[in-house]
Amino acid sequence: MAAELRSPLLPPGPQRRRGLALAVAAAAPLLALLLAVVVFSRSLLTVSSPEPVDLTLVAGARVASSSPEIVELTLLAGAREKGAVCLDGSPPGYHLQRGFGSGAHSWLVYLQGGGWCNTTESCSERKMTEFGSSKLMEAVEFTGILSNRHQENPDFYDWNKVMVRYCDGASFSGDAEGVDRDGTKLYYRGLRIWEAILDELMGLGLAQANQALLVGCSAGGLATLIHCDNFRARFPHQVPVKCLSDAGFFLDIKDISGERFMRSVCHGVVHLQNVRKVLPKDCLTKTKDPTECFFAAELIKSINTPTFILNSEYDSWQIGNVLAPNGSYPGQSWSSCKADIRNCSSKQFNALHGFRKKLVQDLKVAEGKSDWGLFIDSCFSHCQTPFNISWHSPFSPRLGNKTISEAVGDWYFGRRHAVKQIDCKYPCNPTCSSSS
Ligand SMILES: *[C@@H]1O[C@H](CO)[C@@H](O)[C@H](O)[C@H]1NC(C)=O
Ligand SMILES: *[C@@H]1O[C@H](CO)[C@@H](O)[C@H](O)[C@H]1NC(C)=O
Ligand SMILES: *[C@@H]1O[C@H](CO)[C@@H](O)[C@H](O)[C@H]1NC(C)=O
Ligand SMILES: *[C@@H]1O[C@H](CO)[C@@H](O)[C@H](O)[C@H]1NC(C)=O
Ligand SMILES: *[C@@H]1O[C@H](CO)[C@@H](O)[C@H](O)[C@H]1NC(C)=O
């Protein structure tokens, strides 16, 4: 179950070179068709060039001519001595693409997502994947907000960009150790991974950044909220530092059967991996169970750094795993709605609109913070920054006629006041692709 719970959380684009198949699975016909063309052309590229090109070797150079943008993996130095290791004890990794031109001293740090593991069993399984071991990690393609092409990523294309790989299963936040069923150790060291990788990046130029942005999607979007103020604190106060959480706003709601399913998943993560240390103190003092403080609604109350929340009102992963997880309904009654929002019945739409209502309610705190930003669209999606198509393209969802990339840029650079938009109810937005 946990392994399956994980897969929808992959931000498919830059996740791995074959990752787009997941996007196709989650997308509906029009989008799927568009993506299929891309997958097809990409697989041709893979055939003609099986070895990833190491773009980090040409750091500082314009690499716009090489396509796709494959960026090699760097393993953290001294990981074992610091105890900053993946679930299986291997060193964690990241992908660094150097900035150029006017972006040479600007830094974007992107935290990868990919679900969580909440039990010894699910963490042991994860340890055998690239989400628990760097032995299985490969080079990745940088697209969407990570792209170095002006046309796809107009505001951040020339920045230094880092994708930090996710291999701890607790949103870069745990600090504990466990024993696998076979007697070997399981390392729950997400927090140390965060600290050690950021320290290494500081030495590689991050410390001299003249502006910075912390981004993450899904479990990485949650990690972004958790570590935002800590990231900010690493820079002198005159350096502009902001955070962007994409699809990290997981709701602490009852599922359609009335169970707090998501709460129980997070309870497992928080307790097994000892996540307490990074949770907001104000929240911890007022509640008996720290799990509550692991949710975005609580986290955002204590964040002091300007933050942008990007999330779909009908987050496709949350509809299928938080609102209507398997087992919360009889038979296959929700399967078709979970796969394609256009197939939901009016009764199911009531539940979906209820989800939207709670999200909008929880976001009131963010609405009240003057330097924050919001892009809450009514499309049926999960993770919108790492794909060309949703981040900035003719098919990108728009609010106030702005693509996600334009809205984030307007907010980051202060080109517009109050970049805070919450979409109307589905199906009101014609810029959502036909599926959504
Ligand atoms: C839920 O069930 C569907 C079909 O029965 C299956 O395809 C899917 O992987 C399951 N999801 C999880 C998270 O177990
Ligand atoms: C993103 O766009 C570039 C060119 O515009 C293309 O080479 C690349 O394959 C695209 N990537 C994805 C995942 O669509
Ligand atoms: C762990 O998560 C699964 C879903 O992936 C859930 O069914 C289970 O109840 C959770 N168990 C614990 C102990 O948190
Ligand atoms: C949605 O409904 C259409 C028409 O009833 C059907 O052909 C299609 O397979 C359904 N899609 C999913 C994902 O169930
Ligand atoms: C929306 O933005 C596009 C450019 O991104 C522009 O061409 C178009 O005129 C705008 N439409 C409206 C209604 O403002």
Phi, psi dihedral angles at 8 (to 5 degrees): -65, -15
Residue 338 near residue 319 (C-beta atoms within 8 A): yes
Q: Could you tell me if the CB of 416 is within 6 A of ligand 2?
A: no
Residue identifier of the C-alpha nearest atom 8 of ligand 1: 4
Residue 94: how many CB atoms within 10 A of its CB? 23
- Helices marked H in 252-315: 261-272, 281-286, 296-302
d(CA 115, CA 134): 17
Name every protein residue with a CB atom under 6 angstroms from any ligand 1 atom.
1, 4-5, 321, 326, 335
* Spacing of C-alpha 169 from chain mean position: 13
Lowest mean pLDDT among 23-27, 94-98, 321-325: 23-27
pLDDT of residue 182: 87
What is the separation, in whole angstroms, between the first and last Cα of the chain? 27
* Cα separation, 186 vs 209, whole angstroms: 35
Residue nearest to ligand 2 atom 8, measured at CA: 68
Task: List Cα–Cα distances, 152 to 37, 310, 385, in angstroms.
Answer: 18, 18, 11
> Where are the extended beta strands (E) located within 240-371?
241-246, 307-312
The atom of ligand 1 lying closest to the CA of 7 is: 13
Q: How far is the CA of 342 from the centre of ligand 4 (A)?
A: 8
Report which bound ligand comes closest to the CA of 327.
1
Mean pLDDT, rounded, of the chain: 88
Q: Rounded distance, CA 411 to CA 417, Å?
A: 7
Ligand 3 neighbours (beta carbon < 6 A): 1-2, 5, 118-119, 264-265, 267-268
Return the pLDDT at 435. 52
Hey, which of 57-61, 64-68, 303-307, 430-434 has the most confident mean pLDDT? 303-307
**pLDDT bucket at 8, cuts 50 / 70 / 90:** very low
Cβ of 343 closer than 6 Å to ligand 4, yes or no, is yes
Q: How far is the CA of 338 from the centre of ligand 1 (A)?
A: 10
Sheet holding 241-246, edge to edge: 74-75, 93-97, 160-164, 106-111, 211-217, 241-246, 307-312, 373-377, 420-422
Confidence band (pLDDT; 50, 70, 90) for 67? low
Query: Which of the two residues, 21 and 347, has the higher pLDDT score?
Result: 347
The number of the ligand nearest the C-alpha atom of 324 reads 1
Nearest CA to ligand 1 atom 10: 326
pLDDT at 58 over 70: no
- pTM metric for this prediction: 0.88
Residue 316 is classified by DSSP as H
DSSP annotation of 337: H
Strands 93-97 and 74-75: antiparallel
Given a cut of 70, whether residue 14 has pLDDT beyond it is no
| φ, ψ dihedrals at 345, nearest 5° | -80, 170
Q: What is the pLDDT of residues 360-413, one digit of tens each?
A: 999 999 999 999 999 999 999 999 999 999 999 999 999 999 999 999 999 999
